[in-house]
Chains A and B, each alone.
Chain A
Amino acid sequence: MQIERDIQIDAPAERVWSLITEAEHIGRWFADSGAEIDLRPGGALTMRWADYGVAHARIVDVEPHTRFSYRWVPSPSAGVEPTDGNSTLVEFTLEPEAGGTRLRVVESGFDQLDRSPAGIAEAVEGNTKGWKEELGHLSEYAARVAA
């Protein structure tokens, strides 16, 4: 089970690489209250949100201007460390295309989670009231969208 999305960007791979691997930029397009990154395999990536707390990721692959991947708990998670059972793999790949860059992201491993992403969010938020029912509604709409 994985999600795959991509986008064409009219900028060189070096520029896109900076945006996805430098703390200053990650804190803008991903988190909203800053980020810290130790850019090497095994290094830590921390993202902060004003309202939702902190997410910790562990970097897997770093191939400059080509590939960047990390494992993270797929929800702002109050600082829970990523392990095999609670995290997904996020992989970015950059390919030169049409004078710019094709940026692809694949998030995989949802089926290996001990709990669903919704379950993790539920546990994190400690907010069970009405959650399952509402999520059922959401899944229904999501299925329609996906169809």
Chain B
Amino acid sequence: MTDGVFAALADPTRWRVLTLLAERGEATATTLAGDLPVSRVAVVKHLGVLDRAGLVEARRSGREVRYTVRPERLGATARDLAAIAVEWDARLAAIKRLAEE
């Protein structure tokens, strides 16, 4: 099970997609691609890998797919300071969403 997670994280661009998503709390492939030096299509592929590893959650909203980080999945496998910072970003973003509901 952890193999999938590490494989998913073992790519610098994918790691950036994940950290950017954690900071945003929620985002679409289009908005993420706007801040990364890769195409929207590439971001979609990376999000697909992260999704299959259980690291992000996809939610359809009209014509868009919105993604959020699943910090519990990351926390169970990658106990590293940077990973912990990403977890906290995702948790704070979750608190913000709940608080502003």
Contact = CB atoms under 8 A, between A and B. Distances in A.
A145 B82 contact: yes
B75 interface: yes
B41 interface: no
B57 to A, nearest CB: 11
The B interface, classified by DSSP as helix, strand, loop or mixed, is: helix
A65 interface: no
A17 to B, nearest CB: 10
A74 B79 contact: yes
Interface residues of A, number: 50
Interface string B58-101: 00000000000000100111111111110011011111101110
Interface string A134-147: 11011101111110
Contact of A121 (B10, B19, B76): B76
B2 interface: yes
B95 A16 contact: yes
B76 A7 contact: no
13 contacts: A3-B85, A9-B95, A11-B100, A15-B99, A16-B95, A20-B95, A103-B92, A105-B91, A116-B79, A137-B9, A138-B9, A138-B83, A141-B9
